A and B are shown apart, each in its own frame.
Chain A
Amino acid sequence: MKVEIRNLTRIFQRGFKAVDDLSFSFSSGEVVGFVGPNGAGKTTTMRILATLDIPDSGDILLDGKSILDDPALAHRAIGFMPDELPDRTDTTVEEYLDFFGRAYGLRGKALADALAAVEDFTGLVSFRDKTLHELSKGMKQRVSLARALVHDPQVIVMDEPANGLDPRARIELRELVKALAENGKAILISSHILSELEEMCTTSVIIERGRRLSTDFEDDTAWIRLRFAQKEGEDFLARLLEMPGVKEAEAAGNGFRARIASGDEAAAELAKGLFSRGLVPIHFASEAGRLEDVFMHVTKGALA
């Protein structure tokens, strides 16, 4: 299934443009990171996708069909996972999922099979009889995901799913997202944790003040993080800059960062240079901060 967001604009009261002529698309098997600062228009866009809001102009097409003209199409095809978690003392996990299964029109065996499938996929089988209030935040997040999946949608929209989760729950969520993408779902996911997104997303869309920012800039460099057994002094930065291929260097934590040309060859050249000068690093790794770099680069102008 292909999702096309075309020239979407949403204007709130007093002319505030939450979303401004936003366009992008994604397809089955893709995980799109939807990135932007607070108030950038991410949630508004996602709510429009879920038919919880309507745009002032523009359209959203699912396989070429407008969800504005046919909201039921979106209800069938899209599973929406908001950033708010379910929390009730009088509803069990099973009952919560059962309600939404029925609300999507599932009955009888189809409903039972759907509930069993999502509970199994999200690891909720042993929690089905607990009330929502008894669950941890990570488990509530799983319930929210199970709810979004109960009608087997082709598109999944996740608004800040990793918000407030502990590291273990984040890793588990990441694995679930990867598994969903492997099953052919098209996934749009927003998060503030860019390193998280980078690990699970195939592409990313960066927005700010409702507008999509261009990510088409040349950046053929990468940061290498270095640490040595002996603490090096400030003058080491000057020595580091003399190494082959190093374009920029700075102190970082209890070590250093060096910007070199991207690619394995440049990294190997730097390692060779260090060894040849008798500098043996105990930590030598490239930083997984590509998305962060891009984000900082493209939002720099607008934030200033």
Chain B
Amino acid sequence: MKNIFSINPVALRELRQLVRSKIITMSLAIFPGILFVFTMLAVSTAMRDKPPEELAFGDGLGEGPFTMVSVITGLVACLGIPFYATMKAIMETKRDATGLEFTTALTPANIIGGRLAATAILIGATVATAMPFFIFAYLLRGIPLEQVFLMPFGLFAYGLSTFAIALSVACRQGSVAMKVITTVLLFFLLTIFSSVSQISLMTIGSHSETPSTLATTTYILLSLVATLVFFRAYCASLLSPPHVDGERPFRRVVFALFLLSSTLAFYSLDACNAWCITWVSIAGVLLIQSALSPREIPRAARGSAPRGFFRRLLAFPFTTGAVPGMLFAFLIIAVAGGIFSLRVKDGDEILILCSVVAEVTFAPILVGAILRRKKALPRTYRFAGWIMIALLCLVSVISFMAEVRAISSGAGEMLPCNFAGINEHPIEHFRNYGILLLFSVVIVAVSSISAFRKYRKPE
């Protein structure tokens, strides 16, 4: 542990401050007591109307206590701690207005990473405190073993992702009052649209043993990882100090990623597929992209450009992140192809409804927020991005209406969640695939030409 903290001073500082926080220490002290009381209440309620023989040989009593522990831990880990950590970050951005951290060797990625690490430890401690109660519920029977492990992991991933999203509010420019209002609204929206869907889906996924629903659970967990990775990068880009060059390929590529993911959603014309494809793509691509792309390019990288035009042309991709950009373009196509080839045959009403709601609300908000950053993107992206948002909204709403109509008419076993259907029409599939490839190449080419024009000639 000592080595981990020595790597990131921000994480160490945050943890030291958390230890001194009366709210946190009191909450952590009271939390096991609350869990104990409510678990016992749930057990006694479950036992009340059951005869002794059913208690000994029946389905078990674990479900009630398990749900109770999940809800309480979820409230603390997914809402309480992220909200507290976000408010703390907002207050600190006001207090440390001079940005002294940027006069040190710390990078924005270090600062964001440190905050996430400290919050991860706090959420981890909370979930770990709840673990004995989850296991107690398992011992009461009625809960599959994998669910006992899946739920804490899901809560941890969800809590941390929530904090990553909310942290982007704290990192933005603006007044403290506006940030606080935005954070409260954000948590309200996340609570309504996302946490319900995510947690309920995980519960559904673990109850069912069909491969497709397990795959769905995996998608959801991957989407949380993707959210976390994306917002880590986004927050770092918001924090970038002035001495870092304004030409930020990582941010450009992240945006392009969103754009292309939205394109995939558009081409899928199916809400469930669109949502899965979007987030799985983001997870895979961002993880690799974040490893490949230089996050911050110092001015020196452009200042030391070779003198000859052709030499500059050759050197440019390697100094400005265009190569990772190209890799990203091809990778996303490969990932998309892989996803298209999956066969998920069953559907679920909640999955469809929640995913469509998430798609309708979440993606446009995010893409819109990125687009509004005037300096963030070349103009070509912004124009294309707004068109894409309009299309995405239109298609999502149409899909949503179609799903609701299908569910209300009792469409039966085969709801329109049909990867298989796409595979039954290979020509259409390849046509879409080709258009996507063309679109990706055009986007990357335009941005690369734009960046090259700014690639400073040596004086």
Q: Which residues of A contact B (CB under 8 A)?
A: 50-54, 67-72, 74-76, 78, 80, 82, 84, 87-91, 95, 99-100, 102-105, 107, 147, 151
Contacts and interface: CB of A to CB of B under 8 A. Distances in A.
Interface of B: 6, 9-10, 12-13, 16-17, 20-21, 95, 97-106, 241-244, 298-300, 303
B103 A52 contact: yes
B9 A103 contact: yes
A104 to B, nearest CB: 5
Most buried by A among B95, B244, B300: B300
Contact of B98 (A68, A78, A84): A84
Contacts of B12: 99, 102
A82 B98 contact: yes
Contacts of B6: 102, 107
Contacts of B95: 87-88
Contacts of B244: 71
Given A82-B100, A104-B104, A99 B9 contact: yes
A68 B243 contact: yes
Nearest to B6: A107
Given A51-B241, A52-B242, 12 more contacts: A52-B98, A52-B99, A71-B244, A74-B103, A80-B103, A82-B98, A84-B97, A90-B17, A90-B21, A91-B16, A100-B100, A102-B6
B202 to A, nearest CB: 35
Contacts of A53: 242
A102 B300 CA distance: 25
A202 B106 CA distance: 34
Contacts of A82: 98, 100
Given A80-B100, A84-B97, A107-B6, A95 B16 contact: yes
15 contacts: A50-B103, A51-B103, A51-B242, A51-B243, A52-B103, A54-B242, A69-B298, A70-B298, A75-B105, A76-B105, A78-B103, A84-B98, A88-B95, A91-B16, A103-B10
Most buried by A among B6, B9, B99, B243: B243
Most buried by A among B16, B17, B99, B103: B103
Nearest to B244: A71
B455 to A, nearest CB: 15
A84 to B, nearest CB: 6
CB-CB nearest 7 A-B residue pairs: A102-B9, A103-B104, A71-B243, A51-B243, A90-B20, A69-B300, A90-B17
A103 B101 contact: yes
A68 B299 contact: yes
B23 to A, nearest CB: 11
B17 A51 contact: no
Contacts of A151: 104
Contacts of A69: 298-300, 303
